[in-house]
Amino acid sequence: MVQLYNLHPFGSQQVVPCKLEPEQFCGGGRDALFVAAGCKVEAFAVAGQELCQPRCAFSTLGRVLRMAYSEAGDYLVAIEEKNKATFLRAYVNWRSKRTENSRVCIRMVGHNVEAPFRESFKDQMSIVEMPLSEAPLCISCCPVKGDLLVGCTNKLVLFSLTYQVINEEFSILDFERSLIIHLDNITPVEISFCVGYVAVMSDLEVLILKLESDSKNEEKVHHHPCKTNNPVKQINTDFSNETSQIESDDFVICQKPMELLGEKSEQCGISVTLELTGLADEKIKYFHIQHLLYRRFTPDISFYVLSDDIRLHSLQLLPIYHTGKCPLTSDGKNSFHGKELLSLFCFFSLPHVGYLYMVVKSVELMSVYQYPEKSQQAVLTPQFLHVITRNNLQCFTVRCSAAAAREEDPYMDTTLKACPPVSMDICALRIQLFIGLKAICHFKSHVVLLTKADPEAIPERRVSPRRFLSRKDTSVKMKPPVAEAGWSLYIVNTTSPVQLYKEMVDYSNTYKTVKTQSCIHLLSEAHLLVRAALMDTSQLEPGEKAELLEAFKESCGHLGDCYSRLDTQNSHLALPYYKMSGLSLAEVLTRVDWAAEDESQKYERGLIFYINHSLHENLDEELSEELAAKVVQMFHAAEPKQLPHVLCSPSMKSVSPLTALSYLRKLDTYGFSSVLVTLIKAALALKMGDLDMHRSEMKSHPEMKLVCGFILEPRLLIQQRKGQIVPTELAVHLKETQPRLLVAAVLGLQKNNKIGIEKADSFFKVLCGKDEDMIPQLLVDFWEAQLVACLPDVVLQELCRKLISQYIWRLSKRQLPDTIPLRTSEDLINACSHYGLIYPWVHVLISSDSLADKNYKEDLSKLQSLICGPSFDIASIIPFLELLSEDTIAGLSVHVLCRTRLKEYEQCIDTLLERCPEAVIPYANHELKEENRTLWWKKLLPELCQRIKCGGEKYQLYLSSLKETLSTVAVDLELRDFLNVLPEDGTAAFFLPYLLYCSRKKSLA
């Protein structure tokens, strides 16, 4: 059932000063109206609310049967009849015709204009003759490209719009017959064409096709008919033969109703054949057919009288373009070739029912219009469907803008954006009385109506039911009209979208007090009206877009109010509508009717959902103390479990701590107790300066349970304002009093994906008041805790690199930690596998430096331990070693450790022999094993012998090291090999004990 509202979509009206009764009329772009009567076409200037004035007139070849205007190309095309023959003519450059007797050029389609006459075409109207092998029945112009589609008895002929360039400033418009679409088993009564989409309508059938370019198969396409596969053709042919045999005066054969969508529509039984007719040297488009829709109706033969009673009418394809995709040319006019199709809708109607389909990405029946009385004609616009009956002009709402919005915006129907559903019931905004309505057309913001109070022309003949139901039927012949009184041609100005929107909002206020769905329905209609107007900005007057945008935001606010206050299943839509309205949280709260001061007031789900979601976002908005108190009261009454989370929002910073504590204590009395409530109480106590209460609350739960509380609500520690991380007062206090808990809490947040790595690092830097380049010790503690925790989502090498670079930087700069580290190197080695045991020779090396600063021992030990661990890629540390000099024992130990991990043993032996000989043997015992064992006698032994020969201060150290080395080599080598590695100029008495041991080790064994 269609709901009727008594609104005023129609404004002022004026009479078109025609001299003869119009036979055909149509809009001429933004500012003209064409009226055909007799053998003449008159053009009238239409500009806003001004009176309609004659502009020009031109004669036609005969009576105009059909007429259409194309804004792309700015031409008028007409089917004309003279002496029972029909002609197709296009009227080009008609704006240059000043008087009825002005010079006119007539030329044949596709013929090049001779050079001497080209310049004269700029200032005169041209008539382009388009001969056809069959009589044209109907025409349609593509609103985007200006191509012309002509319907004949068994085919459609496509004329592509072309231009003959005369000079930089002027081009002659022309056409090229580029394609013929042969159709079997259907005779077009009306057609519609838009960017390759073709809609064909017979008396009771509608077929929608799409012409697609086939660039992949260009080489295979030739200039001859190419039939589409149609397995049902033979069946339908047989059926037609049987029907013709059975039909007689006593029987009427009606095929059953049918609706086929998508690929299934190929089974409709209508054969479609393509024939390319473009010139071979032109840029020819290669097409193939895609079937989209086939719909067949069956008449109710119980009450038919004339064929008009059961015929379809008002076929129309309505395009909607991407917003802002219509660029302007240098003269300020719209560039139609720049339009990008977003959605396409197809409308057609029976006398009592209209059908609206969406046909671009998917073919879907959107709306069905039930008329209260028999319709005669209808026109579809992005905002409305205008239908005329015998004595009424009806205005219905449409859902085109709702469907197009979902096609254009991927965020539609989310928490960010919303739009009334396509399935929402349609309504009639107005049924306006007009006596004797005969025809209607629409252009820009005008509806043109032809009325005639006298009886209709009587048909020349009646046809039998059998005859007029047959597919072979011809249209009813009407007597040619003559000039007579009793008719009028009106231009009805439609109300501006903003004015009609305001009226709809005022009308909706009558439903607010009773809280019905009608309020939402009417406000949704108002929203779609404004949305549709914004989708076609090319039709807007200057300054009108700003008004529409303001109305759009206002309508979103009204819908947000409805969904927040009415108890509906779609109450969650309050959130996206309020977001689109641009209203702040405080502005929304001031719109709430705070009727009751106590807790008895009922709050609907939509409002609670919006406020709860808004408070969970990082809004840069702080509520006043009064509004914050009302929010606390609201959630305590409606959603007590969400109250702790609400209090953690940055927007609630101004809430009174005493008020918040009183409501939190009530939660305890309700049996609602959790560690989260405890933490919030502690934070509020800190805000009041009650440290005793704060300590009492913090001690009421163990540390790990408190960490769980922080995981439930990270905003207790970290908040964000204007895109910047802001530590809370509680976080600052924990840094001073319980840093271990703070680090554990942030680590818990990271483990549970509540905070990212970079955000956590920034938090500690801001908390400790450090610049981006400065690393506080608390952040180092956090990195160490990450390694200990072995987080799976942390990049291990990157974490180790950050720690090692910080250890090295502090050692090189002799920079002490700004706070006491939470873990010692021993703690880390015991708790974390990534920190390895420090090699024994490193301890020997470090102990050799009696002047070493004990203040840096922890950083050095952690660095050495991490290098000794199994996880770190040593090659990545090399660039950082440049900061650490080898002049100190600490730096030397790190360099030697890294070279050792890189297996540069010989260089390490040389370095230790030079800098710390006492560490050589421990180093060799630890490192020179297995395949590196040979370095004992190939590298270490010769080096020691050589240095002993040179003497010096370290002679005794070298000598003791040599003895240790000889003992080891004597064990590993056979006597012959041992002799070979000894120096030739050595003292025999010195080496003799080792030779004796080597010779006797077998017998000892």
User: Which residues lie across from 974 on neighbouring strands?
Assistant: none
| Cα 855 to chain centroid, rounded | 57
pLDDT computed for residue 741 by the predictor: 96
Q: What is the 3-state secondary structure (H, E, C) of 565-579?
A: HCCCCCHHHHHHHHH
Asked if residue 223 lies in contact with residue 287, where contact means CB atoms within 8 angstroms, the answer is no
Strands 718-721 and 724-727: antiparallel
CB atoms near residue 1004 (< 10 Å): 6
Does the pLDDT of residue 77 top 90, yes or no? yes
Asked if residue 294 lies in contact with residue 268, where contact means CB atoms within 8 angstroms, the answer is yes
Asked if residue 361 lies in contact with residue 422, where contact means CB atoms within 8 angstroms, the answer is no
pLDDT, one tens digit per residue, over 868-890 is 988 888 888 888 888 888 888 88
**Residue 770 confidence class, pLDDT cut points 50, 70, 90:** confident
Task: Work out the angle at residue 758's Cα, subtended by the Cα atoms of residues 752 and 762, and round it to the nearest 5 degrees.
Answer: 110
pLDDT computed for residue 694 by the predictor: 95
Does the pLDDT of residue 102 top 90, yes or no? no
| Mean pLDDT, residues 55-60 | 90
pTM for the model: 0.82
| Mean pLDDT, residues 511-518 | 68
**Residue 242 confidence class, pLDDT cut points 50, 70, 90:** very low
pLDDT, one tens digit per residue, over 702-715 is 999 999 999 999 99
Q: What is the mean pLDDT of the chain?
A: 84
| Helix or strand (DSSP H, E) at 703 | helix 703-712
Non-local (6+) Cβ contacts of 233 within 8 A are 184, 269, 271
Does the pLDDT of residue 515 top 60, yes or no? no
Alpha-carbon gap, residue 182 to 154, rounded angstroms: 6
| Mean pLDDT, residues 543-570 | 90
- Rounded alpha-carbon distances, angstroms, from residue 501 to 449, 495, 729: 24, 9, 49
Task: Name the most confidently modeled range: 162-166, 758-762, 771-775.
Answer: 758-762
Does the pLDDT of residue 55 top 60, yes or no? yes
3-state SS class at 350: coil
Q: What letter would DSSP give residue 603? A: -
Non-local (6+) Cβ contacts of 802 within 8 A are 783
Of 236, 359, 358, 345, nearest to 290 by C-alpha is 359
| Mean pLDDT, residues 773-781 | 90
125-129 sheet: strands from edge to edge: 63-70, 75-82, 85-92, 125-129, 104-108
**Residue 904 confidence class, pLDDT cut points 50, 70, 90:** very high
Of 242, 234, 312, 221, nearest to 271 by C-alpha is 234
Alpha-carbon gap, residue 492 to 871, rounded angstroms: 82
| Helix or strand (DSSP H, E) at 397 | strand 392-397
- Residue 980 CB burial class (10 angstroms; 0-12, 13-18, ≥19): exposed
pLDDT, one tens digit per residue, over 31-42 is 899 999 989 999
Of 799, 862, 808, nearest to 835 by C-alpha is 862
171-183 sheet: strands from edge to edge: 138-141, 148-151, 155-165, 171-183, 272-276, 226-227
| Mean pLDDT, residues 901-926 | 91
Could you give the count of Cα atoms lying within 13 Å of 460 in the half-sphere of its Cβ?
7
pLDDT, one tens digit per residue, over 255-305 is 789 999 988 988 888 989 898 887 654 554 657 889 999 999 987 655 444
| Mean pLDDT, residues 333-361 | 83
**Residue 854 confidence class, pLDDT cut points 50, 70, 90:** low
Does the pLDDT of residue 535 top 50, yes or no? yes
| Ramachandran angles phi, psi of 594, nearest 5° | -85, 75
Alpha-carbon gap, residue 125 to 34, rounded angstroms: 15
| Mean pLDDT, residues 850-861 | 75
pLDDT computed for residue 444 by the predictor: 85
pLDDT computed for residue 1003 by the predictor: 58
Does the pLDDT of residue 476 top 50, yes or no? no
CB atoms near residue 310 (< 10 Å): 21
Q: What is the 3-state secondary structure (H, E, C) of 424-481?
A: CCCEEEEEEECCCEEEEEEECCEEEEEEECCCCCCCCCCCCHHHHHCCCCCCCCCCCC
3-state SS class at 870: coil
pLDDT computed for residue 25 by the predictor: 94
Does the pLDDT of residue 122 top 80, yes or no? no
Q: Comparing 15 with 336, which gets the higher pLDDT?
A: 15
Does the pLDDT of residue 387 top 50, yes or no? yes
Least confident of 422-426, 704-708, 788-792, 879-883: 788-792
Alpha-carbon gap, residue 544 to 496, rounded angstroms: 9
Looking up tokens 């954006």 gives 417
**Residue 358 confidence class, pLDDT cut points 50, 70, 90:** very high
Least confident of 3-7, 185-189, 819-823: 3-7
Does the pLDDT of residue 466 top 60, yes or no? no
Does the pLDDT of residue 851 top 70, yes or no? no
Non-local (6+) Cβ contacts of 580 within 8 A are 417, 418, 552, 553, 556
Task: Work out the angle at residue 245's Cα, subtended by the Cα atoms of residues 242 and 251, and round it to the nearest 5 degrees.
Answer: 100
Of 184, 129, 132, nearest to 158 by C-alpha is 132
pLDDT computed for residue 1001 by the predictor: 73
Does the pLDDT of residue 463 top 50, yes or no? no
pLDDT computed for residue 530 by the predictor: 95
Does the pLDDT of residue 502 top 90, yes or no? yes
Alpha-carbon gap, residue 495 to 921, rounded angstroms: 100
pLDDT computed for residue 63 by the predictor: 94
Least confident of 260-269, 506-515, 521-530, 752-761: 506-515
Alpha-carbon gap, residue 748 to 704, rounded angstroms: 10
Does the pLDDT of residue 323 top 60, yes or no? yes
Asked if residue 745 lies in contact with residue 763, where contact means CB atoms within 8 angstroms, the answer is no
Does the pLDDT of residue 249 top 60, yes or no? no
pLDDT computed for residue 877 by the predictor: 85
User: What's the one-letter identity of residue 89?
Assistant: R
Looking up tokens 């915006």 gives 409
Alpha-carbon gap, residue 999 to 992, rounded angstroms: 10
3-state SS class at 719: strand
Least confident of 438-452, 476-490, 613-627: 476-490
Does the pLDDT of residue 106 top 60, yes or no? yes
pLDDT computed for residue 514 by the predictor: 56
pLDDT computed for residue 631 by the predictor: 94
Does the pLDDT of residue 982 top 90, yes or no? no
pLDDT computed for residue 596 by the predictor: 54
Of 638, 562, 573, nearest to 602 by C-alpha is 638
Does the pLDDT of residue 254 top 80, yes or no? no
pLDDT computed for residue 114 by the predictor: 63
| Ramachandran angles phi, psi of 277, nearest 5° | -125, 5
CB atoms near residue 484 (< 10 Å): 10
End-to-end CA gap in the chain: 110
Asked if residue 296 lies in contact with residue 262, where contact means CB atoms within 8 angstroms, the answer is no
Task: Name the most confidently modeled range: 284-293, 599-608, 818-827, 844-853.
Answer: 818-827
- Percentage above 70 pLDDT, the chain: 85
| Mean pLDDT, residues 67-72 | 94
Does the pLDDT of residue 720 top 90, yes or no? no
pLDDT computed for residue 224 by the predictor: 40
pLDDT computed for residue 117 by the predictor: 55
Does the pLDDT of residue 481 top 50, yes or no? no
Alpha-carbon gap, residue 623 to 652, rounded angstroms: 6
**Residue 808 confidence class, pLDDT cut points 50, 70, 90:** very high
Alpha-carbon gap, residue 224 to 977, rounded angstroms: 97
